[in-house]
Amino acid sequence: MSDASHYIPLTGSYTLADCEFLLQEVNIQPLSIAEKETLLQNGDVHYSKIISNETEPSQTYLETFYTLVEAYADRLAAEIKLLAKQIFEAKGECITLVSLARAGTPIGVLLTRALKQYYSQNVKHFSISIVRDRGIDTAALAHIQAAGYPAESIVFVDGWTAKGVINRELKTAIAHWNSTHDYCIGDELCVISDLSGNAQWIATTDDYAIPSGVLNSTVSGLLSRTLMLDNMTGFHQCIMYQHLKTHDLSNWFIDQVSQRFSTVPTAVNTVDRTWRITRQKIVAAYMQTIMARYNITDINKIKPGVAEATRVMLRRVPRLLILRDSQSSDIAHLKVLAHEKNVVLIEDPNMPFSAIALIENIKT
């Protein structure tokens, strides 16, 4: 990060009014998915040090994305309005959305638009990095503090929770930050879908195919997932997938949902808070069952929920795809990916998610 006088905001393919990424763009050589997986499983490198390239989705896969947008844009607009209402009631006129790049970024953009349309113009959206086992980008938090945004105005935003790993990472990181800074930040998380009973502001507990969860950079401002490269100071890093510019649907997706704000009612909050503890126990028990059934020793190789399973299929080496209902329209895109990548899929009608993907063990 350069000094404030030379700071140039990074927006990806969004406008500054919609999103400001507190990230550094770097130029590193992407690896193939197979190369990346081998390095990760050998323990040679942390995943935050390497990145794989992204390619444009097939036409068949894109058609499933467009179908999901058509099917769920109204629902997502209604749920965004519900979350915006909850945030405004909790925070008031001054709101600083801090989305967790990348999955939280499109949701943060949509919340920014809804809050400005219905509640307040005093809304700012930053998207910052948080890395499993490494914590949150403290340089980004320091930048937000230095820019004068009140600590009490901050709301963290993600797309969904699955096992709750990032939520726990967030709480640990913020507790450490608050122990060493007077600028004390809340650790509450806002998500569309909470599958594990971990988030504070929730629109639904359904494991459905949130459309922004089925594409990578082309629905997230053309930025990669975040990096923490060695010998770097300032913000965490990312690369821009400029070769996908002609395939970028980031703003198209935002417009498709936000234009529906005025035509759909605000979703009704039906989440029973007592559900959380029960759900946490159900998810933990099922994770143990899957680990025993498939002889898995690393829980990070189990990715539950439609969105997490999609990420495995897109950017990891999948071992197995488990579906609760193989005829559900929510997982049509996963079946396309499984066919394209020759991944075996099975059904488990009793699992507490719509989909789970297992990551392959790479023998070296």
Least confidently predicted of 34-48, 233-247, 345-359? 34-48
Predicted confidence (pLDDT) per residue in 17-61, tens digit: 999 999 999 999 899 988 998 898 888 789 899 999 999 999 999
Q: What's the pLDDT score for residue 270?
A: 83
Residues 79 and 82: their CA atoms lie apart, in Å, by 5
Is the model's pLDDT at 360 over the cut of 50? yes
Mean pLDDT of 81-104: 97
Is the model's pLDDT at 272 over the cut of 60? yes
Is the model's pLDDT at 363 over the cut of 80? no
110 versus 164: the higher-pLDDT residue is 110
Predicted confidence (pLDDT) per residue in 115-162, tens digit: 999 999 999 999 999 999 899 999 999 999 999 999 999 999 999 999
Q: pLDDT-derived band of residue 276, with 50, 70 and 90 as boundaries? A: confident
Mean pLDDT of 79-89: 98
Mean pLDDT of 310-316: 93
Other C-beta atoms lying within 10 Å of the C-beta of residue 334: 27
Top-tier CATH class for 4-258: alpha beta
Predicted confidence (pLDDT) per residue in 249-266, tens digit: 999 999 999 999 999 999
Task: Express as a percent the part of the chain with pLDDT over 70.
Answer: 98
Contact 141, 1 (CB under 8 A): no
Measure the CA angle with vertex 251, ends 253 and 126; round to 5°: 110
Residues 2 and 267: their CA atoms lie apart, in Å, by 42
Where is 280: in which H helix or E strand?
helix 275-293
Q: What's the pLDDT score for residue 6?
A: 65
Q: What's the pLDDT score for residue 1?
A: 44
Q: Which two tokens stand for residue 140?
A: 């980004």
List 191's β-bridge partners, or say none: 202
Predicted confidence (pLDDT) per residue in 189-231, tens digit: 999 999 988 899 999 999 999 999 999 999 999 999 999 999 8
Q: Which CATH number fits domain 275-359: 2.60.120.10, 3.30.1330.30, 1.10.3720.10, 3.40.50.460?
A: 3.30.1330.30
Contact 261, 83 (CB under 8 A): no
Is the model's pLDDT at 5 over the cut of 50? no
Residues 176 and 323: their CA atoms lie apart, in Å, by 38
Domain ranges of the chain: 4-258, 275-359
Q: pLDDT-derived band of residue 364, with 50, 70 and 90 as boundaries? A: low
Task: Tell me 331's DSSP state.
Answer: G
